[in-house]
Structure 1
């Protein structure tokens, strides 16, 4: 897979350097602009895979930036970062044209996971009828799962979770990603629905096997192992 070309619009040099280090360690490229005006110019002049946009900028705010980008026909997916993390703040961002919204402070690996998820969705990546990762197989059309050749009986919700983990195999999947992409919620209902369903799926994937199937990444989310 080729490296991602990411634009980061952020007025704080320390925050910009931290994100630059993070994405560079993952093999991606990052261009940095310090103001909304320069970010708009850069986004209009170059092709980027994802734009990370801070909401509070010294000249024009991030909501205005993304609104102008969309009005200009720039459809690059945008991840907005903000210390304003209430549900109404997230709704404002989504209504302005933001594709994802991450409240500060955030876990660095969650930022990286969200950037990659945005790129996958925007690139229209389509998997074949069978997704294979390590000992696991996900038969998309038949809606069935296997581990080491053994069929795993999954409910519709468990299969949706299993398929999502297979599509994001080896990467950290956050609670927010699951709520958005599996439950179609852009907010946290403050229930344990994710944890309960993850627990059920984990038990089914691991029943009779010595190696774990799902790792809990504390403070970040979950990751599917190879099962081998």
Structure 2
């Protein structure tokens, strides 16, 4: 199997070189871009499988770069690297096309675990074609979601999360189960990313957001 191509977008030379070196050691093919413009050019040139995107870039706003990268390489997994800890800023990045995020400083072991998890999830083929719960309809093979006749544009992890909940509609799905199924059975790191994705998913569901109920201290339930 060919090595996964990784576009590293980081303006700090020390962090950038460390990431490139670590990725190469773990069998990836990394390319470094220090600016937003270089990232966009690199995406067109290399068609990366994964993108590690620092939001604090010197020339173009990181969220804008994320949005343009999503358009340029729609199948790539985009993981945002940010020193920003405010939840709303992370949600904006997710809405712009990011699949996941890591807050600096982070451990390389955690980053590598997440990248492996994302690559594994890309290869999973569902056994069933479609799933319908009330107004919600999921095309599991095409990975498209509909509320009535209106398509809801979801990022990969948002789709996986919605499918995991709707697939057991009426049941409580624990936080641990969701992290195992949507992220990875050996997930490395905190589960706050789950809450951020649920928040973003509810925003996209609009008036149907109440279908996802929080069961405090346990997990979530998709109401029938």
> Do both share a fold (TM > 0.5)?
yes
What displacement does 1:71 show?
Answer: 3.6
Encode CA deviations 1:27-76: one digit per residue, 9 max, x unaligned.
Answer: 22211111110110110122211000100111112111111223446331
Say which one has the larger Rg: 1
Distance in 1, matches of 2:178 and 2:73, equals 34
The match for 2:27 is 27
The match for 2:39 is 39
Matched, 1:176 2:191: yes
Distance in 2, matches of 1:76 and 1:17, equals 22
The match for 1:116 is 116
Distance in 1, matches of 2:175 and 2:103, equals 28
The match for 2:148 is none
State the superposition RMSD in angstroms. Answer: 3.5
In the TM superposition, 1:206-217 aligns within 5 A as none
5+ residue gaps in structure 2?
128-171, 201-213, 220-224
5+ residue gaps in structure 1?
129-154, 195-228
Query: How many residue pairs align between the two structures?
Result: 161
**Aligned residues of 1:24 and 1:30 also touching (Cα < 8 A):** yes
Task: Tell me the secondary structure at the aligned position of residue 191 of structure 2.
Answer: helix
After the TM superposition, list the runs of 4 or more consecutive aligned residues in structure 1 that deviate by more than 6 angstroms. Answer: none
In the TM superposition, 1:96-107 aligns within 5 A as 96-107=96-107
Distance in 2, matches of 1:102 and 1:3, equals 23
**Aligned residues of 1:85 and 1:102 also touching (Cα < 8 A):** no
Distance in 2, matches of 1:65 and 1:158, equals 31
Task: Tell me the secondary structure at the aligned position of residue 101 of structure 2.
Answer: strand
Judging by fraction of residues, say which structure has more helix: 2
| TM-score normalised by length of structure 2 | 0.59
Distance in 1, matches of 2:49 and 2:83, equals 24
The match for 1:94 is 94
**Aligned residues of 2:48 and 2:73 also touching (Cα < 8 A):** no
| TM-score normalised by length of structure 1 | 0.58
Distance in 2, matches of 1:186 and 1:109, equals 27
What displacement does 1:21 show?
Answer: 2.3
